[in-house]
Amino acid sequence: MLNIAPARQAEITGPRNRVPDYIRVTEPQPVVLAYGIGVDSTALLVELESRGCPPDLVLTADTGVEKPETYVYQEMMSAWMAARGIPYETVRYTPRRFKHWPPYFDLLSNVLTNATLPSISLGRHSCSLKWKIAPQDAFLKEWAPAKRAWARGQKVVRLIGYDASPADTRRYEHASSIANDLFECRYPLRKWGWDRAACIARIEAAGLPVPPKSSCFICGAMKPDEVRALPVWCLRLIVLVEARAAPRLRTVEGLWRRSTRTRPGRMTDFIRAEQLLPPADIDAIIRDAPADLIRFQDAAAHVPLPDRPAMSEWLATFNAGLTEAV
Ligand code: SF4
């Protein structure tokens, strides 16, 4: 390589800020795929990789209460990406102010602490904003390629796996109406005209299993069949969440909000009617667990934060109750 002193370089090309536009090379915008570990974003990832243009980064926000089979699928896809050299990061919202509460680090502990339900069950979407969108934005604000792009006056390209189905069209129309100075959202599945069936076919053609429907296992958007498929330890936690929030619920009955012709407003009633848990276990959780949790919180309030037991410790004891019952 020819080494030329900066002063000599300037003699040849002129000062940097006087490089003519026609020889100035622009760095490409960094591309990030928001990976929800569901069918659509998996199909998008597989197709981009096969076209030889994988994202610069794949990013997942973990609420800490995804369905167990989603975590299994995530592990498999993490290895799939690593084998192909695709950078993959998982991020999580980190609460910092606990006042007198036991510290908590996932959405389940968050709602148990506040004796409430995930906000989707209350007709809002702040659980998704807080536990999914915000931690991804916070990570990207510190991601070096993003910072360099913003310094150049570019936006970061964010790939979103909305497909061409009517349901995702509504989500797309809402999302695309929101202006953003930092990110340029793109929707390749919609450009390709892929619906959910096409996404499933693409995943199968790649020789991969089709991912389960991804969501938190305490999400009010779950269908009855999704609840039926949950393991017992998740069902017990659903009963706990509803029992803990019950005294404060005014406008909704439970995680499913209000009863319809096809299902009750409380998932606990569904779990009982379908005999997914023994009635005695459901009754014991409703009778004992919320009071025990409040005693734990009251005791923890007197402990300085560095030594204060975390909510996860109480949950470990609660989950151990299942082992003892078995
Ligand atoms: S999956 Fe449901 S409960 Fe979880 S963050 Fe999203 S809307 Fe909230």
Q: Is residue 92 part of a domain?
A: yes
Residues 135 and 168 in one domain: yes
Residues 197 and 237 in one domain: no
Render pLDDT for 9-51 as a digit per residue (tens, 0 to 9).
333 333 445 555 555 567 899 999 999 999 999 999 999 999 9
CATH for 52: 3.40.50.620
Residues 183 and 231 in one domain: no
For the segment 111-135, the average pLDDT, to the nearest whole number, is 94
Instruction: Find out whether the beta carbon of 63 lies less than 6 Å from any atom of ligand 1.
Output: yes
The pLDDT value recorded for residue 12 is: 34
Domain boundary among 148, 178, 205: 205
Residues 187 and 88 in one domain: yes
pLDDT band per the 50, 70, 90 thresholds, residue 83: very high
Residue whose CA is at the smallest distance from ligand 1 atom 1 = 215
Residues 50 and 153 in one domain: yes
Render pLDDT for 139-154 as a digit per residue (tens, 0 to 9).
999 999 999 999 999 9
The pLDDT value recorded for residue 16 is: 47
Q: What separation in Å is there between the alpha carbon of 282 and the centre of ligand 1?
A: 24
The pLDDT value recorded for residue 143 is: 98
Residues 73 and 195 in one domain: yes
Residues 172 and 302 in one domain: no
Residues 269 and 195 in one domain: no
Instruction: Find out whether the beta carbon of 132 lies less than 6 Å from any atom of ligand 1.
Output: yes
The pLDDT value recorded for residue 18 is: 54
The pLDDT value recorded for residue 8 is: 36
Q: Which domain holds residue 253?
A: 224-325
Q: Which of 99-103, 138-142, 237-241, 285-289 has the lowest mean pLDDT?
A: 99-103
Residues 42 and 188 in one domain: yes
pLDDT > 90: what percent of the chain?
A: 82
Is residue 125 over pLDDT 90? no
Residues 139 and 74 in one domain: yes
d(CA 132, CA 119): 13
Residues 197 and 260 in one domain: no
The pLDDT value recorded for residue 144 is: 98
Render pLDDT for 153-191 as a digit per residue (tens, 0 to 9).
999 999 999 999 888 888 888 888 788 899 999 999 999
Residues 147 and 187 in one domain: yes
Q: Is residue 62 part of a domain?
A: yes
Instruction: Find out whether the beta carbon of 61 lies less than 6 Å from any atom of ligand 1.
Output: no
pLDDT band per the 50, 70, 90 thresholds, residue 7: very low
pLDDT band per the 50, 70, 90 thresholds, residue 4: very low
Q: Is residue 149 part of a domain?
A: yes
Q: What separation in Å is there between the alpha carbon of 128 and the centre of ligand 1?
A: 5
> What is the tally of structural domains in the chain?
2
Atom of ligand 1 nearest to the CA of 121: 3
